[in-house]
Chains A and B, each alone.
Chain A
Amino acid sequence: EVQLVESGGGLVQPGGSLRLSCAASGFMFSTYWMSFVRQAPGKGLEWVANIREDGGEKYYVDSVKGRFTISRDNTKNSLFLQMEGLRAEDTAVYYCARFSSTSSYHYGLDVWGQGTTVTVSS
């Protein structure tokens, strides 16, 4: 079964750090770009970051640049989001998702984890 399972969410004080993990199974993880998407309480979806299959390219939404780092370990089929300098506005459910795309076609974010909740509050 194709599956993504996130972990690592929790309550953190403003300015604090957190590391999210996403364990992939059921597909060849090393051949896919991967994404993090977040959803603040009662709000819409916001893309956070993407990482290429080999980790050689990374992209971020402006609001997290310099504070968040996406990485992956293809030997362990795992995706990570290191979050530092957390702010109240980073409070959200964070999803990892498989980004299925080629140079000529986008198949969408076609596999999603269940999400992990990050709450930034004092």
Chain B
Amino acid sequence: DIQMTQSPSSVSASVGDRVTIACRASQGISSWLAWYQQKPGKAPKVLIYGASSLQRGVPSRFSGSGSGTDFTLTISSLQPEDFATYYCQQANSFPLTFGGGTKVEIK
């Protein structure tokens, strides 16, 4: 099974800050990676697919990069509605696996 490791597990940031979340796969997954945002009590929402493609309707302050084993989600200027938990997920092979999540909190 492919293990997905996210870091940090939580980050405190202020509105306007640049936030970067890392995700590492235990083996190469090419670009078979998606990023999700989840707010409390809500279903996750896909932000990025194919490691770097922005889902339709997602603000351009979100971006993804990486290939192989190392990936990054960047929020260029944090907005109040961005405080949430973020997950990476690999789809290179079954079982699909998620990272442990990164909670973005208000500083």
A61 proximity list for chain B (CB < 8 A): 95
Is B20 an interface position by the 8 A CB rule? Answer: no
Say whether B44 contacts A62, CB under 8 Å: no
A106 and B97 contact, Cβ closer than 8 Å, known pairs A44-B87, A45-B87, A112-B44: no
Q: Are A46 and B98 in contact (CB under 8 A)?
A: yes
Q: Are A44 and B100 in contact (CB under 8 A)?
A: yes
Tell me the residues in window 48-107 of chain B with beta carbons closer than 8 Å to chain A beta carbons.
48-50, 55, 87, 89, 91, 94-101
B49-A113 in contact (CB<8A): no
Q: Is A108's CB under 8 angstroms from B55's CB?
A: yes
Contact B96 A50 (CB under 8 A): yes
* Assembly CA distance A37 to B45 (angstroms): 13
The interface on chain B, measured as residues whose beta carbon lies within 8 A of the other chain's beta carbons, has a size of 24
Decide if A59 touches B91 in the complex (CB within 8 Å): no
Partner pick for B101 among A45, A62, A108, A110, CB 8 A cutoff: A45
**Given that A44-B100, A45-B101, A47-B95 are contacting pairs, would A108 and B43 also be in contact in the complex, using a CB cutoff of 8 Å?**
no
> Within the complex, which residue of A62, A105, A110 is in contact with B46, where a contact is CB–CB below 8 Å?
A110
The chain A residue with its CB closest to the CB of B100 is A44
Name A63-91 residues within 8 Å CB distance of B.
none
Q: Does B34 contact A (CB under 8 A)?
A: yes
B43 touches A115 (CB 8 A): yes
State A100–B91 Cα separation when bound (angstroms). Answer: 10
A-B residue pairs, 4 tightest by C-beta = A108-B34, A112-B43, A108-B46, A106-B91
A sample of 10 inter-chain contacts (CB < 8 A) reads A44-B100, A45-B89, A45-B101, A47-B98, A62-B95, A97-B43, A108-B48, A108-B55, A109-B44, A109-B46
